[in-house]
Amino acid sequence: MNNIRRGRVSRPANTADPSRPAPHLSTKVWALILGAAFLLLAGLTAWQYLGAKPAARAEVWVDGVLKQTLDLSADGEYRIESAEGWNLLTVSDGKIAVTAASCPDADCVRCGPQNSGPPIVCLPNRVSIRFTDSGGVDGAVR
């Protein structure tokens, strides 16, 4: 049986040396300041990298060609036609969802409303919806 170590990382954890506080501040105060800074930075990192940061727009690609850029602040419905079929996109409450599609597996519909993170992809219809703000992520392994 393998040995397991558990962890949760919200980097960075590398901070200024707490063993040398400024003369007028106690060690306890320094610890509080550094702890608060760490928690704030951890939250910012999680917000940035795990897809919580909402994008303002979504790009609709069909067969590798950019067809439309949708403003996620404006509710609406858009029917996207491709050579392979169709997808109905619904923009609501700052998110976009594929609410109906002609594809056989409906994976794209199951993705639900999104405004960040990995692209919504409909492989059968060759449709891809990408968010203009990647949240600091360069690429999504999927």
Partner 1 sequence: MLLLLALSLAGCNLLPDASMQDRTVSDASIWAMDTQMDLRLYGDTDGTVMAELTAILNRLDHSLSATSPDSALTALNESGRTDDADVVYLASAAQTISAQTDGALDITLLPVSRLWGFGTDSYAVPEPAALDALRDRVGMDKLTVSDGAGSVSAGTMLDFGALAKGYAADLCRAKMEEAGIAGILSLGGNIQTVGTKPDGSDWIIGVQDPDDMGRYLLTLRLSGSASAVASGDYQRFFMQDGVRYCHILDPKTLSPVRGSLRSVTVVTDGGLKADGLSTALFVLGREAGIALWQSMGDFEAVWIEGDGTVWITPGLKDCVVEGSYQVIEP
- Residues of this chain, 36-75, that bind partner 1 according to CB under 8 A: 37-38, 40-41, 44-46, 49-52, 61, 63-66
Please name every residue paired with 130 in a beta bridge, in sequence order, or none if there are none: 59
Please say which residue, 41 or 100, places its beta carbon nearer to partner 1: 41
- The rounded distance, in Å, linking the Cα atoms of 66 and 33 is 47
Q: What's the min distance (Å) between Cβ of 110 and partner 1?
A: 8
CA-based nearest residue to 100, from 91, 92, 109: 109
Encoded amino acid at 34, one letter: L
Dihedrals φ, ψ of 73, to 5°?
-90, -5
Output the smallest distance, CB 134 to partner 1, in A: 9
Q: Which is nearer to partner 1, 28 or 110 (CB)?
A: 110
Q: Is 77 in the site for partner 1 (CB under 8 A)?
A: no
34: left (phi over 0), alpha (psi -120 to 50) or beta: alpha
Binding site for partner 1 (CB under 8 A): 2-12, 14-16, 37-38, 40-41, 44-46, 49-52, 61, 63-66, 104-105, 107, 110-112, 114, 116-121, 123, 126, 128, 130, 136-142
